[in-house]
Amino acid sequence: MNILFRTDASIEIGTGHVMRCLTLANALRKKGANITFICRNLQGNLAEIIREKQFDLIMLSEPKKNVFIPKATSHSDWLGVPWYADAAETICAMKDMNKDISLLIIDHYAIDINWEMRVKKYVKKMMVIDDLADRLHDCDILLDQNLYHHYKDRYVKLVPKSCKQFLGPEYVLLRDEFYSFQPSQKNGDGSVKKILVFFGGSDPTNETKKVIKAFQQFPPQDIELDIVIGNTNTHKKEIESICKKHTFCNFHCQVNHIADLMYNADLAIGAGGTTTWERCYLALPAIVITVAENQEVIAQTLDQLGAIKYLGPKESVNESDIVSAIQEMMNNPLSLQQMSRKARLLLEGNMDHRQNLLLEMLK
């Protein structure tokens, strides 16, 4: 069975789309599928990581500067080229493979029904991974692993009636490393000794530095920060230099053991996105600062449920806000324990639901 992924990573897009596709690709490969990624050559792409995971990769051409891109979706610019040019290149890539494509999986905010209708006749089945519910799709399967109010109804008018929808965090795509931990065996007493700081692979606005500077305002105490960044982080050298100056900072770049770091942390400070569900699965309480507009509603919902502490979008959060939030957490161990339990409950039954999704994809 030949399965294609059309997704991208860049400094602007971030790394989350490709990373969750890699998780899904790995699960499908274990079921016997042959996997190929199709990605555009954008600045900050994850081609090296895709190849390291031993997946086939077709790179679409690097975009030319000052190309006019019609506004077909709210994120059209993320393709780097007009949607019809991207569709044409993708079709050419599939024809060059000279293989029957059983399933094409699209994880891209810049792709909508226009692109999908043009490409669909070259594949047996099409699946879309989305979070926004802001555009029409012509697909057979849709996955949105996030939690919103009335999330079961978000795509009713956006996909064909025949489309099978998998909605909610019970379908979240977690890497195998997370399933090796048993959060119920973690004896969290609500004290804070280790804090994980992670704002995704790229963190273009350097929220990581903001958190470190905020923590410098605390009096000396027995607390460690695990600082995690990705290789595409343009502030990598600066963050590493800052960490070397402070004994309370442990610097980690492009790690393969984030689940271990989360499991051993008492509190996390970070962004929304897929990392939200990784933290919830491991019952890790979190202070969240959103770094993209599409993260805000999810963060607000989880805050209302008591599963996280949401401070707001990055533009409105300063160092003193972070200091106050950390102090509040440290002074209320019972509240921290309750947040941990509420977060974990959101992903009950995840393994069984994910298995049902995989079976549908492989039909």
**What CATH number is given for 177-345 in this structure?**
3.40.50.2000
CATH architecture of the domain formed by 2-172+349-361: 3-Layer(aba) Sandwich (3.40)
Residue by residue, pLDDT tens for the chain (363 residues) are 999 999 999 999 989 899 999 999 999 999 999 999 999 999 999 999 999 999 999 999 999 988 999 999 999 999 999 999 999 999 999 999 999 999 999 999 999 999 999 999 999 999 999 999 999 999 999 999 999 888 899 999 999 999 999 999 999 989 889 998 887 767 678 899 999 999 988 899 999 999 999 998 876 678 999 999 999 899 999 999 999 999 999 999 999 899 999 999 999 999 998 899 999 999 999 999 999 898 999 999 999 999 999 999 999 999 999 999 999 999 999 999 999 999 999 998 888 999 999 999 999
Q: Which two tokens stand for residue 175?
A: 């890497």
**Nearest C-alpha neighbor of 282 from the set 208, 346, 215, 211:** 346
Where do the structural domains in the chain lie, given as residue ranges?
2-172+349-361, 177-345
127 DSSP 8-state letter: E
**The domains spanning 2-172+349-361 and 177-345 adopt the same CATH topology:** yes
Q: How many CB atoms lie within 10 A of CB 197?
A: 26
- Euclidean distance between CA atoms 112 and 135, whole angstroms: 6
DSSP states of 308-356 = SEEEEEGGG--HHHHHHHHHHHHT-HHHHHHHHHHHHHTTTTHHHHHHH
For 150-202, give the DSSP string. TGGGTTTTTS-TTPEEEESGGG----HHHHT--GGG----S--SEEEEE-TTT
Counted residue by residue, the chain has a size of 363
* pTM above threshold 0.85: yes
